[in-house]
Structure 1
Amino acid sequence: MNSGDTAWVLVSAALVLLMTPGLAFFYGGMVRSRGVLNMLMMSLGSIGVIGVLWVLFGYSMAFSTDLGGLGLLANPFENFGLSGLLGEDSLSGTIPSLAFVGFQAMFAILTVALISGAIADRARFGPWLLFAALWAVVVYFPVAHWVFDFDDTDDAGNVTAVGGWIANRLAAIDFAGGTAVHINAGAAALALVLVLGKRKNWPKGVGKPHNLPFVVLGAGLLWFGWFGFNSGSALAADNTAAFTLVNTLVATSAAMLAWLLVERIRDGHATTLGAASGIVAGLVAITPACSSVTPLGAIAVGAITGAVCALAVSLKFKFGYDDSLDVVGVHLVGGLMGTLLVGLFASAEAPAGVAGLFYGGGVDQLWRQAVGAFAVLIYSFVLSLILALIVKATIGFRLSEEDEAEGVDETEHAETAYHFGDGRATRRASASAGDVEDRKLEGSRA
């Protein structure tokens, strides 16, 4: 065990967990004031559900012994409840196994939370938690095995334990989750949007973001946490961690500027919302590519993706799908761009040591990136569609028209985010006051 590597991974895990509250602020600021608490709760609920499932069997489904040697699914019972990983001699590389367990848990949590932004203002909270649990088991845990679980080999290079097919047999590069996290979540978001349908009076009658400072705060927390997300994926305090940190900084900066430039040319204004969205698009794009491109390549990846995502978010109006907070336009499109651009901009000078098309490597890496990206997209979309339809058919997924008009915070949580001294009470407060009055009336009658 290396204490420096262990310390870095533990800190990185904490940084990645911070990204989920950051995402909650980012999403919460973009909805109307009567839906902000629900957005916060959907992210917080993801932490609760996935945190428990990951410890019970999620980690085992992703990182224990592969079933059948095909790289499709690991044994969910081998490390059930993290059995076999609790001793001091249980290591994952140079760090304790539990440090790796905790780090990967934060990825699973964030991925599920990302989906929620697509269905803001119209999904019931209980069915969302059920969908989150089902989706993690059926989609995320297997895909994490495909992408993040590498073969174990002996000193002679012989494979002693089979890992996931995308990471090993296909040899696609996804350093920190462009496919497993962003394409995966974006495809699921698209499926949910199609099942739940459009918000009432969309697109003109849904209002503007109610709190842009929240959006910027959320984007800042995401950027801060993303250094743990990407650099922590080196699983060591080494040159790769430093390399990916610099790439994460510069690609995100370039994406923000590119998004603002598109806004300025198209709309005549560079907006705060655009800056925050450009930041997230850049972070998404560099996630798979941060170990395989040089800093100059990272600028290109960020700039191209920032511009493309700025244009892609308007596709929902053209095609008529109500992706409330642009999960499809930013995470699905951004994840695809970052993953595919590895095949163009990868450089042998980078830690991954692979050359893309523009650096003399031909199309070999490009086709690998494309197969990995679209395999995850199709798998996630189809399974997410089926799961959403099951939830809808059994317990219902969407708010009633009455509840949607009243606001999801009141109807699902009996709370409101803001009280401006106007004396208005939430449903819960009103019910409590009614109970008190009933008791007083009964006492007077006695």
Structure 2
Amino acid sequence: MDITSQVNTAWMLAATVAVTLMLPGLALYYGGLSRTKNILNTIMLVFGGFAVTALLWVLFGYGLTLGNSAGGLGIIGDPSGLFGLSSLIGAETPEGAVPAILIAGFQLIFAGLTVGIIAGAVEGRMKFSAWLVFAGLWATLVYFPVAHWVFAFDSEDGSTVGGWIANQLGALDFAGGTAVHMNAGVAALVLALFLGKRKGFPEVGRPGNLPIAVLGGGLLLVGWYGFNGGSAGGINESAGVSITNTLVAACVGLIGWLLVERLVGGHATSLGAISGVLAGLVGITPAANSVSAIGAVIIGLLSGALAYWALSLKEKLGYDDALDAVAIHMFPGIFGTIAIAFLADPATPAGAAGLFYGGGFSLFAAQIIGVVSVFAYTFVVTALIAWVIKVTIGLRVPDQVETTGLDATLHVETAYDLEEA
């Protein structure tokens, strides 16, 4: 391995460690937002969904996602010869590149986290067994194909064909505005619709532990440096630009949320602050290496404000997205992806020019087509998966289980010992 490969590999190892922090971060964030009687169940949903996805990734998910496109169509990867990732071990590493087995591990985390995001919609009412089945089916039928469209690139020598959104369409999605955040947000919306509302919605009680939720959000922020910075594939300008934009958008997302929250509700809350941080992070994810720091300010500010506005849709449209996966992931994910068409700066590593920088409408059209295609595919296939599970093993826990709480009934545990000594 040449020295450049060694340096880039060291960075990707560090990025992989950082992005792994997002697993406990997401679990704590969602767990802290859950009602006290369901905190452990929510944490179990995140870890359980991640574990199922990781297993499938090793068996065939890597091939479906990053394998050579079947038939050269850009629709799905060919898993032939990639079972168990064994063919990646000892494979020749081109000069300056990172070992394929490490990229496989890095992308495994993306897949598991995307499934975990969906769990935010189902707090307090979904069977744990049904969730694990859903996680496996959704990863296989939705995430792996969509991630192939977005993350699989044609090789320089033409020997490997990637996904149609990244290559034939030419849409830009640096680290997963469509493949991760919008994808998970749409699935969360569909699952919330199939599950129905929690008892007493919208008056369902308060978050069980806000400090834990804020801590979880903080871990997500740290992990996001690996999420976006690692997507650069090594130590280069793209990594530097994306990490800087990540921090900027997170901070401004907080400001955007709190400004609107203060104007509308009269208060600025800690839950609003960390929610704004996450909205800003989601918004900048697809655009991290294609916009300037000023572009990151605009995306972060508007993502925070947009996510706060999206909260009101739950009551207006009648869906119960318990922990706001739709508001914080779907809407900013869509916005950040489309914003590239306006704010892409040709001086950035991506080299694309948005409309505000003299670019044409071709990039705008590509971004819109990418968003609409992923939205439609994810909505329809997720609905089919949810329907099949609902009519077979059932999605929702019995009323008594929901009333008592899923921690005590499904896991025989409680988050807090509230009995007097």
What's the TM-score bracket when you normalise by the shorter of the two chains? over 0.9
Q: Which residue of 2 aligns with 1:51?
A: 54
Q: State how 1:324-363 maps to structure 2 within 5 Å.
A: 324-363=322-361
Q: Equivalent of 2:275, from 270, 277, 289? A: 277
Q: Equivalent of 1:409, from 404, 407, 410? A: 407
* C-alpha deviation, 1:92, in angstroms: 9.5
Q: Which residue of 2 aligns with 1:426?
A: none
- The structure-2 alpha-carbon separation of the partners of 1:93 and 1:317, relative to structure 1 and needing over 3 Å to count, comes to farther
Q: Which residue of 2 aligns with 1:180?
A: 179
For the residues of structure 2 that align with 1:401 and 1:92, how far apart are their CA atoms?
A: 59
SS in 1 for 2:159: strand
Aligned amino acid, residue 389 of structure 1: W
Q: Equivalent of 1:152, from 124, 130, 155? A: 155
Q: Which residue of 1 aligns with 2:144?
A: 141
For the residues of structure 1 that align with 2:413 and 2:160, how far apart are their CA atoms?
A: 51
For the residues of structure 2 that align with 1:211 and 1:239, how far apart are their CA atoms?
A: 39
* C-alpha deviation, 1:20, in angstroms: 1.4
Aligned amino acid, residue 126 of structure 2: A
Q: Equivalent of 1:245, from 219, 243, 257? A: 243
Q: Which residue of 2 aligns with 1:128?
A: 131
Q: Which residue of 2 aligns with 1:86?
A: 89
Aligned amino acid, residue 165 of structure 1: W
Residues 348-403 of structure 1, C-alpha deviations (whole Å, 9 max, x = no match): 01110001111110322111111111111111111001001111111111011111
SS in 2 for 1:417: coil
Q: Equivalent of 2:28, from 18, 25, 29? A: 25
Aligned amino acid, residue 394 of structure 2: G
Would the aligned equivalents of 1:256 and 1:277 in 2 still touch at CA under 8 Å? yes
Root-mean-square deviation over aligned CA pairs: 1.2
Would the aligned equivalents of 1:38 and 1:409 in 2 still touch at CA under 8 Å? yes
Q: State how 1:290-369 maps to structure 2 within 5 Å.
A: 290-369=288-367
Q: Does 1:192 align with 2:191?
A: yes
Q: Which residue of 2 aligns with 1:427?
A: none
For the residues of structure 2 that align with 1:395 and 1:422, how far apart are their CA atoms?
A: 39
Counting aligned pairs with the same residue, the percent is: 50
SS in 1 for 2:87: coil
Higher alpha-carbon deviation: 67-76 or 79-88: 79-88
Q: Which residue of 1 aligns with 2:69?
A: 66
* C-alpha deviation, 1:47, in angstroms: 2.4
* C-alpha deviation, 1:88, in angstroms: 4.9
* C-alpha deviation, 1:35, in angstroms: 0.4
Q: Equivalent of 1:235, from 227, 233, 237? A: 233
For the residues of structure 2 that align with 1:18 and 1:39, how far apart are their CA atoms?
A: 17
For the residues of structure 2 that align with 1:65 and 1:343, how far apart are their CA atoms?
A: 28
Would the aligned equivalents of 2:8 and 2:96 in 1 still touch at CA under 8 Å? no
- The structure-2 alpha-carbon separation of the partners of 1:90 and 1:53, relative to structure 1 and needing over 3 Å to count, comes to farther
Higher alpha-carbon deviation: 82-91 or 324-333: 82-91
Residues 50-83 of structure 1, C-alpha deviations (whole Å, 9 max, x = no match): 1111111100111112111110011123311113
- The structure-2 alpha-carbon separation of the partners of 1:422 and 1:131, relative to structure 1 and needing over 3 Å to count, comes to same
Q: Which residue of 2 aligns with 1:14?
A: 17
Q: Equivalent of 1:209, from 207, 210, 216? A: 207
* C-alpha deviation, 1:89, in angstroms: 2.1
For the residues of structure 2 that align with 1:99 and 1:108, how far apart are their CA atoms?
A: 15
Would the aligned equivalents of 1:64 and 1:78 in 2 still touch at CA under 8 Å? no
For the residues of structure 2 that align with 1:207 and 1:276, how far apart are their CA atoms?
A: 19
Q: Which residue of 2 aligns with 1:170?
A: 169
Would the aligned equivalents of 2:49 and 2:131 in 1 still touch at CA under 8 Å? no
**TM-score, length-scaled by structure 2:** 0.97
Q: Which residue of 2 aligns with 1:100?
A: 103
* C-alpha deviation, 1:93, in angstroms: 6.1
* C-alpha deviation, 1:301, in angstroms: 0.8
* Count of residues paired in the alignment: 418
* C-alpha deviation, 1:90, in angstroms: 4.8
Q: Which residue of 1 aligns with 2:262?
A: 264
Q: Which residue of 2 aligns with 1:432?
A: none
Would the aligned equivalents of 2:64 and 2:148 in 1 still touch at CA under 8 Å? yes
* C-alpha deviation, 1:84, in angstroms: 1.6
Show structure 2 runs of 5+ residues with no match: none
For the residues of structure 2 that align with 1:410 and 1:93, how far apart are their CA atoms?
A: 52
For the residues of structure 2 that align with 1:326 and 1:301, how far apart are their CA atoms?
A: 19
For the residues of structure 1 that align with 2:420 and 2:126, how far apart are their CA atoms?
A: 28
For the residues of structure 1 that align with 2:94 and 2:50, how far apart are their CA atoms?
A: 25
For the residues of structure 2 that align with 1:173 and 1:335, how far apart are their CA atoms?
A: 13
Which of these two proteins has the greater Rg computed from alpha carbons? 1
For the residues of structure 1 that align with 2:261 and 2:77, how far apart are their CA atoms?
A: 45
Would the aligned equivalents of 1:50 and 1:136 in 2 still touch at CA under 8 Å? yes
For the residues of structure 2 that align with 1:392 and 1:111, how far apart are their CA atoms?
A: 22
Residues 258-291 of structure 1, C-alpha deviations (whole Å, 9 max, x = no match): 1000001001100000001001100000000001
Q: Which residue of 2 aligns with 1:396?
A: 394
* C-alpha deviation, 1:421, in angstroms: 3.8
Would the aligned equivalents of 1:92 and 1:100 in 2 still touch at CA under 8 Å? no
For the residues of structure 2 that align with 1:93 and 1:390, how far apart are their CA atoms?
A: 46
For the residues of structure 1 that align with 2:292 and 2:68, how far apart are their CA atoms?
A: 35
Would the aligned equivalents of 1:25 and 1:40 in 2 still touch at CA under 8 Å? yes
Would the aligned equivalents of 1:15 and 1:228 in 2 still touch at CA under 8 Å? yes
**TM-score, length-scaled by structure 1:** 0.92
Q: Which residue of 2 aligns with 1:224?
A: 222
- The structure-2 alpha-carbon separation of the partners of 1:348 and 1:41, relative to structure 1 and needing over 3 Å to count, comes to same
